[in-house]
Structure 1
């Protein structure tokens, strides 16, 4: 039953239940107002100031539409909408780019999904609002069997929120495009939702699309590819995000108390939810040292420049050299950056090495299209899919002057045979 309606620039009025409004009014959810969706993307797109808050409302709305179209019963619709509403509640400052900081502190990979599930079940206010629904909502987000549901119901509900054709991506592609003022992420949402179906008679149930939605699926796939290529992996956004990560990592031990952010410690959630984009950046800026210097450069948009850009697949002729670059992890990238900085007598934070991977097949491989009653992978017959390959780019960022460029060129020639 609709309790209140809120207006959204993409969908018009979004109807919300009384329970959903209570969740939205909780402290941990309202914190999402203060966490930008795209971190440092405003370095390129000045209007990229939208937050996780409105994205979460949009995902809740789309989850409800998809669940109704798939004829979920009322209990499933309620839980799926709540899971969609809360799927990003665990994000830290600057969204995804805080995850390397939290993972470094805890010496293991920790994503916002794990924190979201923790908040749903352990935050006193939020878990109190959800009551007996809290374990169900957390299980949907964790892709685990939901208490009281069949395995097929659990699988399908999780697939709606986080799967090859999920409402999370459907919302952020269109919402990011809208706020950035670009057309890359647009696709026919109504046709896509109208032709959404599920696999049947396979022992498992997954979200799929009827062959009549073929055109919308191709738009969706191409939109995701273009948003990665033109927005999410734009070289200026890449370096702005990397400088922000570097600043936060260097603030650990001074501005950021690592003991306060140990997952599983008694006051972890209390400490974690005090952090947002503004509060953390202000604390870093008010400190002394390299972290404050880097954050100050971000504030002034005084970014490191792209002094080297390589497409390994076409720019490196030697297969062994290509493989060497492909195997570079964060540690080896840091080693390369340190060697170049040392040669130039620069501080280590003045050189950044980064590899961008623009996915094409990674997720879309698994999108199922129902044709003649048989589920098939989209890439089996898509001419667009078959004509594109993943794009890797290798960057070195640093001060933009001839000495730096010449040194980087000499290094790349000696290490990878690039002239």
Structure 2
């Protein structure tokens, strides 16, 4: 039986957030919201450098985490009150008191391992001795769940004592470890994380691309025990389409905006140079980021490093003063809709050493041709992201559970309980269609100091030839 105290009751009081309005509170929830480790999320912005493009994008992981908890609660309430959803549960995939508490706590704490600019530094992390300096935020869950603060027990203790769940089980669910029955409910096509951040990010950026009929989408959720995830009924197809399109539009206009990506490239090169010159140790660097906020970390980094011996210091100064490098060359890795990208462009995203070597080589070439002094970081390579915004395997696995008479009687659907969303035939938003969306959005860019832009463009073909001929292997 599902615990009414967690799903339908409040101990009194609400927290009011943009998008979702009043969210009722209970004692276990309030104990985590007031914990110093959770409060640190107030200092970590949701969209990193996007505020340099959209000044309103200063919202944080704190309110996002509460929003994800709220949506998970709405989903579980729907599963509990929908006779069809209850009837589709089985001994393998069910929603009892324990599983609901587990899912709610994982939803609330899914971003507890985040640190400033985490996605920026995870995507193409600076390296030391061939290994990434920064770890993925999911792997830091244990660090923050089990750490203690003055006069506060750990969050893990609160989970055990107040939420009645095993904190190790919560951490494993957040990390998405294989074999966990409910992991696709925390990270998948239909997870509440995506539903919240798409609408929240669009709201704070004040752009019209994030409108999704969340209520109707949640109303369509039914359990899919065979695949340990949620399926949707026909009524969920249209709001799912709006979610997929919103994600594409946000990716194109916000998440991969050229200004945000250029700031990210400049920050990564600055950090890499300081690691390579032993100005800062990897341990000192990670501790600085893991224990800091967005607003302070770059200033603390500036004071930590000796500016008089740091040629790359101008990169940090430019980031702080918003003197951003400009786009000089843009190429498309998926040329004319090709199914496979141009390999050498994509390879620069992983071969960090060669990327830096080529950046220095480009600076050397421009400096000699035009008799100017360059240090080697004035021209930078911004390769396409290797990370896919859409989880295509997960989308291909998503099923529709037919409930309308015309679909139940269809010859192709006869005696089928769950039908692949791709095969259901009611939407153009198939997984291959979504894949084409993303391919057209990825770009390979050369960015540089603004005064160098015409010089780099003057040698565009030669530069592309250099990068292709000596591309990473």
TM over 0.5: yes
Larger radius of gyration: 2
The structural deviation recorded for 1:344 is 1.6
Out of 305-314 and 272-281, give the one that drifted further. 272-281
Give the distance between the partners of 1:86 and 1:127, measured in 2 at CA.
11
Q: Distance in 2 between matches of 1:302 and 1:261?
A: 24
The range that moved more, 87-96 or 123-132, is 123-132
Q: Deviations over 1:286-320 (max 9, x none)?
A: 34124542222112110111001111333799x99
Please give the per-residue CA displacement for 1:75-130, whole angstroms capped at 9, x wherever unaligned: 22222111111111111112322436877369257210110233224556222222
Paired residue secondary structure (1:198): strand
State how 1:14-413 maps to structure 2 within 5 Å: 14-71=23-80, 72-99=95-122, 104=127, 107-108=131-132, 110-123=135-148, 125-131=154-160, 133-144=166-177, 154-156=180-182, 158-200=183-225, 202=226, 204-252=227-275, 257-260=281-284, 273-286=290-303, 287=305, 288=307, 289-290=310-311, 292-314=313-335, 322-331=342-351, 332-345=354-367, 346-357=374-385, 359=389, 362=392, 364-371=395-402, 372=408, 373-380=416-423, 381=425, 382-385=427-430, 386-387=432-433, 389=436, 390-391=439-440, 392-400=442-450, 401-413=453-465
Instruction: Provide, for residues 35-67 of structure 1, a one-character-per-residue CA deviation record: whole Å limited to 9, x for no partner.
Output: 111110112111111111110110111111112
Judging changes above 3 Å, is the alpha-carbon distance between structure 1 residues 387 and 91 closer, same or farther for their aligned structure 2 residues? Answer: closer
**Structure 2 Cα separation of the partners of residues 295 and 191 of structure 1:** 46
The 8 Å contact of residues 125 and 268 in structure 2, kept in 1 or not, is answered as no
- In 1, distance between residues paired with 2:120 and 2:146? 24
Structure 1 position 10 matched with structure 2 position 19 = yes
Alpha-carbon distance in structure 1 between the residues aligned to 2:271 and 2:77: 43
Measured after TM superposition, the shift of residue 261 of structure 1 is: 6.6
Backbone CA RMSD of aligned residues: 3.0
- Alignment length, in residue pairs? 399
Distance 1:224 1:21, change over 3 A: same
- CA deviation profile, 1:175-198 (whole Å, cap 9, x unmatched): 000000011122110110110112
Q: 1:303 to 1:272 in 2, by over 3 A?
A: closer
Q: SS where residue 307 of structure 1 aligns?
A: strand
The 1:342/1:312 distance shift into structure 2, 3 A limit, reads same
After TM superposition, the structure 1 stretch with the greater mean CA deviation from structure 2, 109-118 or 54-63, is 109-118
Q: Tell me the distance in 2 between the aligned counterparts of 1:347 and 1:220.
A: 45
Q: CA deviation at 1:199?
A: 1.2
Seen in structure 2, the aligned counterparts of structure 1 residues 23 and 360 have a Cα distance that, compared at 3 Å, is closer
Q: Deviations over 1:105-158 (max 9, x none)?
A: 69257210110233224556222222353123113213348xxxxx7xx523x2
